[in-house]
Amino acid sequence: GENVEQHPSTLSVQEGDSAVIKCTYSDSASNYFPWYKQELGKRPQLIIDIRSNVGEKKDQRIAVTLNKTAKHFSLHITETQPEDSAVYFCAAMQLSGGGADGLTFGKGTHLIIQP
Amino acid sequence: GAVVSQHPSWVICKSGTSVKIECRSLDFQATTMFWYRQFPKQSLMLMATSNEGSKATYEQGVEKDKFLINHASLTLSTLTVTSAHPEDSSFYICSARDLLAGGPIETQYFGPGTRLLVL
């Protein structure tokens, strides 16, 4: 099955600086890579995702890059703000026609934005 | 947007009892729902895939006789933790995909989770 590694486990950055979280996956058949933000005790919220036919995707201060050859993808957050503090999870999945695939998550990164 | 609810939001029970958790898609039909478990300060682990009208598919290491899943309708899946023990204490989260909507089919919408504490 799929195995997703995520680093670092904790990341502390100054407000206004950029944050980068990296993930690798093992199954070359995976073709969908979402990133979730989870605040304490709450449900994961999708913040950005990318399919394997795209190398980069950006949404305002958030961007995701994908390197299929190396089987790794990264989350980039620029101009960080205090409300960005949360746990971020990467995930991987193989999209199929039946649509019946669950997500394999990384272990999470606790992002701390220092004021 | 697609909304998924869970009930109850938290439950405390005695060891040996069974607990049922409901997952509902409120404004869309979900032929497939997923059940995840999250221990404190850990990641979400996929337990099983719930298929409407058929048996659930369990991930390796998840006991199907302990975690009973029923997907009786297109908007409801239930997870029953049978003979619960303290080690089953965890945060259980369901998700669903809206395969009939006009938006991306890959997006999973998560429920708010159910916190289970077994004494």
DSSP string, A43-101: --EEEEEEETT-SEEEETTEEEEEETTTTEEEEEE-S--GGG-EEEEEEEB---TT---
Give the integer Cα–Cα distance in Å for B44 and B8: 19
Rounded to the nearest 10°, the torsion over CA B110, B114, B115, B119 is: -150
**Beta-strand pair B90-97/B32-38:** antiparallel
Q: Is the pLDDT of residue A96 over 80?
A: no
Number of H helices, E strands in chain B: 0, 11
Q: How confident is the model at residue A73 (pLDDT cuts 50, 70, 90)?
A: very high
Per-residue pLDDT tens over the stretch A44-63: 999 999 998 889 999 999 99
Instruction: Report the C-alpha gap between B23 and A60 in whole angstroms.
Output: 33
> Nearest Cβ partner of B106 from A95, A107, A108?
A95
Nearest to B93 among A43, A46, A104 (CB): A43
As given in the structure block, the two tokens for residue B75 are: 């908007």
Q: How many CA atoms lie within 13 A of B23 on its CB side?
A: 33
pLDDT for residue A91 is more than 90:
yes
Tokens linked to A94: 């193989």
When pLDDT is averaged across residues B34-43 and rounded to a whole number, the result is 93
pLDDT tens-digit readout, B65-110: 999 999 888 899 999 999 999 999 999 999 998 766 655 667 888 9
State yes or no: pLDDT of A75 exceeds 80.
Answer: yes
Facing A100 at nearest CB: one of B44, B49, B110: B49
Q: How confident is the model at residue A66 (pLDDT cuts 50, 70, 90)?
A: very high
* Cβ-based contacts of B44 with chain A (< 8 Å): 44, 89, 103, 105
Interface test with B, best of A101, A107, A109 (most B CBs within 10 A): A101
